[in-house]
Amino acid sequence: MTKPVNTPVNNLQKIRKSLSRRNRSEWLFRWYGRLAIFIGLVAVTVLFTDIVSKGHGAFRIAYLQLEVEYNRDLIGVDNLTDPEQLILGNWQAVPKQALRQQFPDVSGRSDKRKLYGLVSNGSGFDLKDRLLANPMLLGTRETVWVLADDDIDTYYKSWLDGEPYAARLSDKQVKWIGELHDQGKIRLQFNSNLFTRGDSREPEQAGIRGAVMGSLFTLLLTLMLSFPIGVAAAIYLEEFAPKNGWTDFIEVNINNLAAVPSIIFGLLGLAIFINFFHVPRSVPIVGGLVLTLMTLPTIIITSRAAIKSVPPSIREAALGMGASKYQMVLHHVLPLALPGMLTGAIIGMAQALGESAPLLMIGMVAFIVDIPGGFSDPATVLPVQIFLWADSPERAFIEKTSAAIMVLLSFLIVMNTSAVWLRKRLERRW
Amino acid sequence: MNAINPVMGAKAEVKQNLEVADNQVTVGSCFTEAPKMTMRNVNVFYDDKQAIHNVSVDIAKNEVIAMIGPSGCGKSTFLRSLNRMNDTVESCRVEGEICMDGENLYAPKLDVVELRARVGMVFQKPNPFPKSIYDNVAYGPKIHGLADTRVDLDEIVENSLRKASLWEEVKERLHQSGTGLSGGQQQRLCIARAIAVSPEVILMDEPCSALDPIATAKIEELIEELSQNFTIAIVTHSMQQAARVSHRTAYFHLGRLIEVNPTEQVFTMPEHELTEAYITGRFG
């Protein structure tokens, strides 16, 4: 049998035959790609709809309309400038009295306690703040909207949605809410407490301000430490360090650090910063230090990649002009690599913002009501706040948890968008 | 040129397959009176691989010396060892003596920053900084502190751009990016940038290989003008270019300097048969 000869004609046939096979595999590959993207998008959509559907309710909260009287004798205050009187004043008596007047038929200790349970147990202090802001109100009456208790809030929202959930409410309370609703004296308002208050045992008074500020201080410290250290390390390794076994060893270890589970960094922080250096626990300083350790590898790796991408011709041009190595780096390499470095830093920061495990180890999981005002105030951070709320038994914390997740996600989206924007904006062609 | 030692060696025996003998000696007029730069027994290694073998040659003041030869013959490597750009290549090692005005460039106490201010370089691919035209030219004077005032700096920039015959084309847009210029303009900008620090020697590594014929002609014209004030060593792939711009031509082959002679002589009656083979296009 003779071997077939590759004449032009039978070459063409072979090419055509292979062509359909090649086209088919390309078509298949495209569809694999589309399928992969589709699965990703579905996952993201499911996640977001779930969180939003659970959490959107937390942005509105129930208020009751009450006719309150700022009675001097009732509160026990006649001078609003005397701090002692303000502390000792019986502020909760104001909404209680208003409730009694709203529902005059209620009698008996148990019923009265249920009645008082309609409003938040912090509503007296809200009225106190209102009074302090406007001292002329002392001794007068006014109609105000006061924060309802979280159980009332949960019930009222579920009742409005047509699926009443009255687990912890008595029939009487349900009846009262019905009456208030008929009179237009209960309504949902924008929940500004969510953004202006710290954590609380009472869901209706709990807010994420404390956690947001804690995250802010922690991240600020992380950025201030990890960016300069990371960039300096990257520049040294890329531009100045001799290429030998030691630098290879360091590179391997930096890559290893990037893969270490974050809780290990928490243990390290606990052992070194808290137990050895006696930094106080639960504060943004120690959180920032731990997250710096965690973010450094990311920043070093992305910065090195950014430095590597600066074309060698620019370095040669600078050196050829008689620039010293330091001048070459400072004047030419660094400005060109900066967009990439910033992108890496933002991605590192986004990672750090979403990190909770290492912070649990250093006590940033404590229940902290006060909003931190600095790096050394006890604080918690957003993801840990989410963890705390998700762990709380009160039903009203379910929607709060989702709302906090929404806030965290929107921070992350903003950060990642700005990373993309920065890269596009500062990217230079040469 | 002023050949004081016209015969460095008799015509060497050359193997038929164009390989060079280990004891190859350079023919022609390697040495000059009053040289600007002198190279003696220069060997360059990349790790264990020797790229330049025992090259000795002078560069006279205000001359244009062209280095030609087939690809991979080491002419660029040799050029880059004249301002120690090879220092940036970690595996590279230079032996022998390279002097400028009698001063050894590889002496331990010599600072490469000073050297590179005195020996400027223009690269194969135009590589302006991604900064404005003005900043490109002003960069050298700035880092070396050559201009005391803004006015001085403006003057240096204008003069350099004029010498590089680029001033008329860019004077209206000095503050636009240098990377927005055409390839030929970019290369002239790089030349302007190099001469802004008034170097004594300018090294050019195939400055026209990325340019079209018209841009090339402009650069060649420029090289001729610059040779009145500067000493120029130029590596080129184009024999026509070497013939047009240079006073002397050095022919490199497989890391050895085969022949150095006045350009006219090299292209009309080369002394060495390898040179002849190359310029007549038998290989390369």
Do A266 and A407 lie in one domain? The reply is yes
List CB contacts (< 8 A) between B86 and chain A: none
Q: Is the pTM of this model over 0.95?
A: no
Buried b (16+ CB within 10 A) or exposed e, A325-359: bebbbebbbbebbbbbbbbbbbbbbbbbbbbbbbb
Residue A74 counted as domain residue = yes
Residues of B in contact with A309 (CB under 8 A): none
Same domain for A187 and A213: no
Would you call A429 an interface residue with chain B, using a CB distance cutoff of 8 Å? yes
Helices (H), A236-333: 245-259, 262-269, 284-308, 312-320, 325-328
A320–chain B nearest CA distance, Å: 6
Which domain covers residue A83, as residue numbers?
A: 59-191
The answer on A98 and A176 residing in a single domain is yes
Chain B, residues 129-188, CB within 8 A of chain A, namely: 129-130, 139-140, 143-144, 179
* Domain assignment present for A187: yes
Do residues A404 and A54 lie in contact, with contact meaning Cβ atoms separated by under 8 Å?
no
One-letter amino acid identity for A289? L
In a domain, A398, yes or no: yes
H and E: helices and strands count for chain B: 10, 11
Q: Tell me if chain B has a CB within 8 Å of the CB of A243.
A: yes
3-state secondary structure of B249: strand
Q: Are residues A371 and A224 in the same domain?
A: yes
B144–A317 C-beta distance less than 8 A? no
Characterize B50-89 residue by residue with b for buried, 16 or more Cβ atoms within 10 angstroms of its Cβ, and e for exposed: ebbbbbbbbbbeebbbbbbbbeebbbbbbbbbbbbbbbbe
Supply A276's token pair: 């050895």
Residues in chain B: 284
**Rounded CA gap, A315 and A233, in Å?**
19
B116 touches chain A (CB under 8 A): yes
Question: Tens-digit pLDDT profile for chain A (430 aa)?
Answer: 566 667 777 888 888 888 989 999 999 999 999 999 999 999 999 999 999 999 998 999 999 999 999 988 898 888 888 888 888 889 999 999 999 999 999 888 999 999 999 999 999 999 999 999 998 888 899 999 999 999 999 999 999 988 888 778 889 999 999 999 999 999 999 999 999 999 999 999 999 999 999 999 999 999 999 999 999 999 999 999 988 899 999 999 999 998 899 999 999 999 999 999 999 989 999 999 999 999 999 999 999 999 999 999 999 999 999 999 999 999 999 999 998 899 999 999 999 999 999 999 998 988 999 999 999 999 999 999 999 999 998 888 999 999 999 999 999 999 999 988 888 887 765 4
A214 and A74 together in one domain: no
Interface confidence (ipTM) of the complex: 0.85
Q: Specify the number of domains making up chain A.
A: 2
**A221 lies in the same domain as A187:** no
Residue A336 falls inside a structural domain: yes
Picking from A78, A74, A79, the residue whose alpha carbon sits closest to that of residue A96 is: A74
Answer whether residue A31 is part of any domain. Answer: no
**Residue of B83, B110, B113, B179 to mutate, testing the A interface (most A Cβ within 10 Å of its Cβ):** B113
How far, CA to CA in Å, does A53 sit from each of A162, A278, A400, A406, B217?
16, 44, 12, 11, 72
Residue B241's nearest CA partner among B267, B273, B274 is B267
A26 lies in some domain:
no
Q: Is the minimum CB–CB distance between A332 and chain B shorter than 8 Å?
A: yes
Question: Is the domain of A256 the same as that of A352?
Answer: yes
CA-based diameter of chain A, in Å?
119
B83 contact residues in A (CB cutoff 8 A): 320
What are the angstrom distances between the C-alpha of A187 and each of A61, A159, A176, A416?
8, 12, 14, 37
Flag if B193 and A321 touch (Cβ within 8 Å): yes
